């Protein structure tokens, strides 16, 4: 995975070790990792149309862009993001490759038709990459086509732009988003240092426009795996009118082993955060291989087993099926 930064993140990383670790490569990314997966969430299993993933009955995910403003070293789609010559990785099947920006041409027609023919889908998540790498007009066109195909559908716009390039958030862009309500903004925040004055201003624009802002945080070793850091982050989010939405156990992407917090350690940390703060977001994991999202608790751990690839927790999903997650 190549290095890609905004000038804003470059400057912030000089002042914040936590930000620096998230965006600058480490030799630890080359550590052997037998548990790593190219598609840790198993999204290819639910490929419904070019760029469209339909895993959950009432919502679908659209990979609206294959680009990001800056590359997070812990990204679970790190093999999906286009490299410097703007071509997708050759070792992924077609269903794993994001659409061209804004899903132009035949790709857009296919997923728009799919949404029209599946009225059970009540919400569409726009992700990627980062959909805000598209222009305002491209996003407006995308919103309009989807809303025409499914008039009652809600949008969830998933982005890291307020964190890595807050200048991308203009009053005109926020007003355009507000015109397509119901719409929620889902942002990725991992550390209080990311909540700069510029970031706070960008997020306040959405809050003041009546657009709910959801915060997703990934638990990362050496960055936010402490009670004080997580408590500070969630408190600051609440004070800004943001909703801490999920704390995620790290997915099993290649090159990210050094960021993973052991599951039992994460659960103990989460319990301590809950003692001093309310409300707190659920602690969750996307079950490796396509099992979907479950909320983590000590009760869903059915034990530990040993395999030829190492030791694994057995995690029980809501239907009682068992899935494996590495035990360290």
CATH of the domain at 26: 3.20.20.70
Average pLDDT, the chain: 91
279 part of a folded domain:
yes
Domain with 229, as residue range(s), is 7-303
- Look at residue 298 and tell me if it is in a domain: yes
Checking if the pLDDT of 105 tops 90, the result is no
* Residue 250 within any structural domain of the chain: yes
Among candidates 290, 302, 231, which has minimal Cα distance to 263?
Answer: 302
Cα–chain center distance at 46: 17
Tokens representing 1 are: 């995975």
> Hey, is 157 helix, strand or coil?
strand
| Strand residues in the chain grouped as ranges (E) | 47-49, 52-56, 59-63, 123-127, 154-159, 183-188, 213-218, 243-248, 283-287, 292-295, 301-307, 310-316, 322-326
Residues 6 or more apart in contact with residue 255 via CB below 8 angstroms: 1, 29, 30, 33, 36, 73, 78
What pLDDT, on a 0 to 100 scale, did the predictor assign at position 107?
67
Q: Compute the average pLDDT of residues 269-292.
A: 94
Residues 6 or more apart in contact with residue 290 via CB below 8 angstroms: 41, 42, 43, 45, 46, 55
Strand partners for 217: 247
Q: What percentage of the chain exceeds 90 in pLDDT?
A: 80
Which pair of tokens denotes residue 262?
Answer: 């052991």
* Token pair in block for residue 20: 């620096």
Asked whether residue 312 is assigned to any structural domain, the reply reads no
Number of domains in the chain: 1
Nearest to 73 by CA among 11, 31, 35, 19: 19
Contact 193, 220 (CB under 8 A): no
pLDDT band at 104 (very low <50, low <70, confident <90, very high): very low
Name the residue among 240, 172, 162 with its Cα closest to residue 202.
162
Give the pLDDT band (50/70/90) at residue 93: very low
In a domain, 310, yes or no: no
- Which range has the worst mean pLDDT, 85-94, 144-153, 190-199? 85-94
Q: Is 316 among the domain residues?
A: no
- What are 89's two structure tokens? 């990785």
Gap between the Cα atoms of 6 and 4, Å rounded: 7
User: Does some domain include residue 26?
Assistant: yes
CA distance 264 to 297: 9
**Calpha distance 317→323 (Å, rounded):** 8
Is residue 183 assigned to a domain?
Answer: yes
Neighbour order of strands in the sheet with 301-307: 301-307, 310-316, 322-326
The model's pTM is 0.92
Confidence class of residue 35 from pLDDT cuts 50, 70 and 90? confident
Average confidence (pLDDT) over 201-212 = 98
Which residue matches tokens 């309310």? Answer: 278
Q: Say which DSSP state 249 is in.
A: P
* Burial zone of 119 (CB within 10 Å; 0-12 exposed, 13-18 middle, 19+ buried): exposed
């Amino acid at each position: 995975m190549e290095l890609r930064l905004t000038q804003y993140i470059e400057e912030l990383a000089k002042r914040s070790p936590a930000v620096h670790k998230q965006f600058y490569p480490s030799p630890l990314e080359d550590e052997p990792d037998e548990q790593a997966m190219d598609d840790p969430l198993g999204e290819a299993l639910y490929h419904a149309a070019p760029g469209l993933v339909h895993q959950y009955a009432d919502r679908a995910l659209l990979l609206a862009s294959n680009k990001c403003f800056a590359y997070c070293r812990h990204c679970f789609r790190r093999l999906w993001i286009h490299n410097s010559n703007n071509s997708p990785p050759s070792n992924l099947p077609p269903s794993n490759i994001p659409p061209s920006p804004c899903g132009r041409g035949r790709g857009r027609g296919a997923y728009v038709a799919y949404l029209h023919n599946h009225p059970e889908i009540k919400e569409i998540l726009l992700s990627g990459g980062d959909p805000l790498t598209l222009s305002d007009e491209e996003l407006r066109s995308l919103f309009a086509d989807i809303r025409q195909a499914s008039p009652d559908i809600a949008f969830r716009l998933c982005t890291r732009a307020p964190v890595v390039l807050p200048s991308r958030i203009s009053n005109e862009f926020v007003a355009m988003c507000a015109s397509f309500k119901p719409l929620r903004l889902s942002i990725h925040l991992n550390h209080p240092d990311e909540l700069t004055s510029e970031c706070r201003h960008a997020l306040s624009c959405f809050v003041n426009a009546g657009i709910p802002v959801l915060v997703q945080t990934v638990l990362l070793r050496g960055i936010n795996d402490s009670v004080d850091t997580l408590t500070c982050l969630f408190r600051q989010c609440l004070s800004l009118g943001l909703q801490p939405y999920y704390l995620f156990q790290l997915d099993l992407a290649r090159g990210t082993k050094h960021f993973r917090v052991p599951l039992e350690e994460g659960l103990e940390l989460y319990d301590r955060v809950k003692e001093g703060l309310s409300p707190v977001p659920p602690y969750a994991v996307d079950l490796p291989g396509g099992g979907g999202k479950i909320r983590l608790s000590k009760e869903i751990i059915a034990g530990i087993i040993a395999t030829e690839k190492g030791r694994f927790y057995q995690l029980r999903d809501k239907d009682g099926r068992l899935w494996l997650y590495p035990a360290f």
